């Protein structure tokens, strides 16, 4: 007997593309929940949640109040910064294929 692993296909290690991020921004503006967006895009809800957290901004309104909103450009900027901060792999973490350990 096989267990059902959910309705979404496995996309492990795949980034959200730009069109998906734009779609997330639009769907959040019309009031759709992150879980519903995840089902719509066939992605895990945690992927959508992390993307939304990455792109949260607090714009200042004309009446000097703030509101929290998702911004695709901000999410991409944060992603690019995080990727550049990783740095090169250390020599200890890369195993050589010439002399494998016994």
Question: Is residue 53 one of the residues assigned to a domain?
Answer: yes
Of 61, 53, 62, 4, whose CA–CA distance to 24 is shortest?
Answer: 53
Share of the chain above pLDDT 90, in %: 56
Question: Is residue 12 one of the residues assigned to a domain?
Answer: no
Question: Is residue 23 one of the residues assigned to a domain?
Answer: yes
pLDDT at position 19 over 50:
yes
- Backbone φ and ψ for 77, nearest 5 degrees, come out as -60, -45
pLDDT digits (tens, 9 = 90+) for 50-68: 999 999 999 888 888 888 9
Distance CA 39, CA 74 (A): 24
Query: Looking at residue 93, what is its pLDDT?
Result: 52
Question: Is residue 10 one of the residues assigned to a domain?
Answer: no
How many domains are contained in the chain?
Answer: 1
Across residues 73-102, what is the average pLDDT? 72
Mean pLDDT value across the chain: 83
Distance CA 32, CA 24 (A): 9
Q: Are 52 and 34 in contact (CB under 8 A)?
A: yes
Residue numbers of the domain that contains 32? 18-81
Across residues 22-36, what is the average pLDDT? 96
pLDDT at position 28 over 90:
yes
Across residues 16-35, what is the average pLDDT? 95
Neighbour tally for 1: CB within 10 Å: 2
Distance CA 13, CA 66 (A): 35
- Backbone φ and ψ for 70, nearest 5 degrees, come out as -90, 135
Q: What's this model's pTM, rounded to 2 decimal places?
A: 0.69
Distance CA 42, CA 56 (A): 22
């Amino acid at each position: 007997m096989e267990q059902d692993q959910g309705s979404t296909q496995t996309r492990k290690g795949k980034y959200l593309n730009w069109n998906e991020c734009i779609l997330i921004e639009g769907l959040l503006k019309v009031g759709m929940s992150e879980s519903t967006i995840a089902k719509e895009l066939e992605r895990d809800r945690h992927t959508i949640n992390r993307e939304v957290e990455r792109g949260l901004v607090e714009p200042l309104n004309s009446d000097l109040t703030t509101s929290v909103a998702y911004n695709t450009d901000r999410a991409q900027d944060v992603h690019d910064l995080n990727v550049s901060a990783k740095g090169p792999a250390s020599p200890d973490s890369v195993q050589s294929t010439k002399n494998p350990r016994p």
